[in-house]
Amino acid sequence: MTVMRKKVSRLEKLKIRILVLSLLLFFCGSCWVLFLRFEGEAPEIKLLDCPKYFGINTKMKIQLTDKKSGLRKIWFAAFINGKEEVLYNQYFSVDFLKGESSEKKHIIEINLEPKKKFLPDGEGLLRISVWDHSWQNFFEGNNTYIEKQIIIDTKHPKIDMISRKHHFNQGGAGLVLYRVSESDTVNGVQVGNTFFPGMPGMFKDPLVFAVFLAISNEQGPDTEIFVTAEDKAHNLGRAPFTYNIRKKRFKRDIIRITDRFLRKKIPEFKTEFKSDGDLIDKFLKINNEERRANFKTIKNICQNSKNILFWKHSFLRLPKSATRAGFGDRRTYHYKGKVVDHQTHLGIDLASTYHSPIPAANYGKVIFAGEIGIYGRVVIIDHGFGLCSLYSHLSRFSVKPGDTVKRGEILGHTGTTGLAGGDHLHFSILIQGFFTNPLEWWDNNWIKYNITDKISSARKLIKDGF
């Protein structure tokens, strides 16, 4: 009997222990579940693409994440001049077994389209709020709320043309003057596929812009030209104007390459070659790859042009010099009786006496003095508003970047550096890094009709209340 009682007592104690352990496990599990359900980490809002300015058709991209209990609700709206427009309102269901939402990350891409939603132009707020599936805040979940200041602007900039007559030559240059109705715009003149940005500062009115532009030697009379202006909301204004482009025929020239010339010139270049490459292969690499790299270098240098009109009168050419090659000449390169390459000459070659002194073509500031590949020793002068002159193949130069030079001041001497066969000056005029025909800038009448008269007329128009 005593043995039976002991066995029952042990069994009851075991049951009690199991019950206590079960209750303890249940309690711990419940605490863990409650801990998870009452997690306090708020959702995260990332503005991946949300500009300050919104135009007629501006897109935005927003990312919302909650790594723990998942997203419950997303809401955001635009508030402009007392009017609120809900742009997005989304609920996400919960998995009751897991106790969390399957939506851990949500990306919204939306177009505000103010006119369709009848939102007025002006300053306002973008309000974004997101909740998760936590049981915090009386089961409403953790909440993140942000506001972002925005400006709605659906009006495109207006462009008023100031310059009236626009006659261009193929390969030549010109000046276009206009006024934009808004500040802080990206504006300029589109010439075919090339954009010439507008530059303020020629006139007191900060909304009046000047553009010196270049017509490529490959752009004919059918090239489209117009003024364009884009504001911060990406509203685009466009103004066509009357113009004509005179077609020009360019001379064709044959350049005969000899081994003697190649053996003399190729060692001057730092271009990397295959050690077993032929002389002509090395030359072709210089005449193509090096040439393209040099063009890019020169274009980047010319971006340093100031909004100051440094120059006066027509530009000077090398005194007592003969023209050996013209702008736009179509060059065909012959080697041992075969055609090996084609290039276009983008300057005028002037030859005088050996190591002739070179005068600065006009007033300006030196922005480069050094070596540039096929051009050899080079000086580049900024004449303001994107207009630059380039002097190359120099034997030596006597100026340095930052120097101010006068019209006619000696800046160096002619030579044979670079890819030059004989002592001469290669002279170029560039507009915002694009080559244009120097002949126009040596012509007093062309400058008066196409540049200075336009500036004088514009000043009178602006003074009279344009």
CATH number, residue 344 = 2.70.70.10
* pLDDT recorded at residue 40: 82
Q: What is the DSSP string of 224-261?
A: -EEEEEE-TT--EEEEE---EEE-----EEEEEE-HHH
Quote the percentage of the chain above a pLDDT of 70: 89
319 and 215 together in one domain: no
Of 91, 118, 152, the residue that ends a domain is: 152
CATH number at residue 117: 2.60.40.3880
Q: Collapse the DSSP code of 264 into the 3-class scheme (helix H, G, I; strand E, B; otherwise coil) and give the result.
A: helix
Residue type, 187: N
Of 247, 266, 300, the residue that ends a domain is: 247
Residue 233 CA, distance from chain mean position: 17
205 and 329 together in one domain: no
Q: How many domains does the chain have?
A: 3
92 and 219 together in one domain: no
Residue 30 placed within a domain = no
CATH number at residue 224: 2.60.40.10
pLDDT one-digit tens code per residue, 251-310: 999 999 999 999 999 998 977 776 667 899 999 999 999 999 999 999 999 999 999 999
187 and 243 together in one domain: yes
287 and 226 together in one domain: no
**445, HSE (Cβ side, Cα atoms, 13 Å):** 0
90 and 106 together in one domain: yes
Residue 63 placed within a domain = yes
* pLDDT recorded at residue 97: 56
Residue 2 placed within a domain = no
Residues of the domain holding 397: 252-432
Residue 57 placed within a domain = yes
Residue 261 placed within a domain = yes
293 and 406 together in one domain: yes
Residue 277 placed within a domain = yes
Global pTM reads 0.85
Residue 279 placed within a domain = yes
287 and 231 together in one domain: no
279 and 355 together in one domain: yes
pLDDT one-digit tens code per residue, 367-400: 999 999 999 999 999 999 999 999 999 999 999 9
Beta pairing, strands 404-405 & 364-371: antiparallel
DSSP 110: E
Residue 20 placed within a domain = no
220 and 307 together in one domain: no
pLDDT one-digit tens code per residue, 429-465: 999 999 999 999 999 999 999 999 999 999 998 876 6
214 and 276 together in one domain: no
Task: Give every strand in the sheet of 225-230, ordered side by side.
Answer: 194-197, 186-191, 225-230, 236-240
Place of tokens 């019209």: 407
Distance (Å, whole) CA 258 – CA 425? 22
* pLDDT recorded at residue 2: 56
302 and 357 together in one domain: yes
Residue type, 126: L
* pLDDT recorded at residue 464: 66
Distance (Å, whole) CA 256 – CA 333? 6
Q: Collapse the DSSP code of 361 into the 3-class scheme (helix H, G, I; strand E, B; otherwise coil) and give the result.
A: coil
Of 104, 135, 152, the residue that ends a domain is: 152
